[in-house]
């Protein structure tokens, strides 16, 4: 089989560039201690509504015995459920999200709550919200034609004395 010398040169150049890019990626991951997230929690997306935590009646914010708040939400085309939640200021909050359909993102502006919601996994964010008020919660991953309508609200209330 005859290979033109110019074509052989380009095959070698592309092979070297590919090896160099992989080397940079692996070196950066190793030197920066970058690794996949631990504590990955899987869930059957097709049976999401049948689970205890993400059943429709159990969604929303619930105060735990230790005073912290646990929020369970479902992100689905094209909305978050429940549409509105209330949580207290200066309280440890655990947000737990799941989706039955496609990749979504979740962001609450002005806070550190920003995560991806991936089908088959539970996304968890632990935070303490510092400012009272009502904030939007919107999807920041394009999820389809109705993506622009996918938002919800979070009201951060003063602590009850």
d(CA 43, CA 97): 11
Is the pLDDT assigned to residue 161 strictly greater than 90?
A: no
Residue 73: the pLDDT is: 95
pTM: 0.75
pLDDT digits 0-9 by tens, 78-111: 999 999 999 999 999 999 999 999 999 999 998 9
Residue 80: the pLDDT is: 94
pLDDT digits 0-9 by tens, 113-137: 999 999 999 999 999 999 999 999 9
d(CA 27, CA 56): 45
**Adjacency order of strands within the sheet including 133-138:** 84-88, 151-157, 133-138, 104-107, 114-117
Residue 150: the pLDDT is: 92
Give yes or no for a contact between 151 and 138, defined as CB atoms under 8 angstroms apart: yes
**78 C-beta neighbours (distance < 10 Å), count:** 17
Is the pLDDT assigned to residue 39 strictly greater than 80?
A: no
């Amino acid at each position: 089989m005859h290979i033109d010398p110019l074509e052989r040169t380009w095959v070698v150049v592309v092979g070297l560039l590919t090896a160099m890019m992989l080397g940079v990626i692996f070196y950066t991951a190793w030197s920066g201690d970058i690794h996949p997230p631990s504590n990955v929690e899987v869930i059957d997306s097709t049976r999401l509504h049948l689970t205890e935590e993400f059943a429709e009646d159990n969604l929303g914010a619930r105060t735990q015995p230790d005073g912290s708040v646990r929020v369970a939400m479902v992100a689905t085309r094209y909305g978050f459920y429940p549409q509105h939640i209330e949580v207290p200021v200066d309280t440890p909050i655990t947000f737990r999200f799941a989706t039955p359909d496609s990749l979504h993102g979740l962001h609450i502006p002005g806070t550190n709550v920003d995560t991806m919601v991936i089908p088959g996994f539970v996304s968890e964010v632990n935070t303490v919200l510092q400012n009272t008020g009502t904030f939007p919660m919107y999807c920041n991953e394009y999820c389809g034609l109705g993506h622009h309508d996918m938002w919800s609200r979070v009201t951060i209330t003063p602590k009850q004395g």
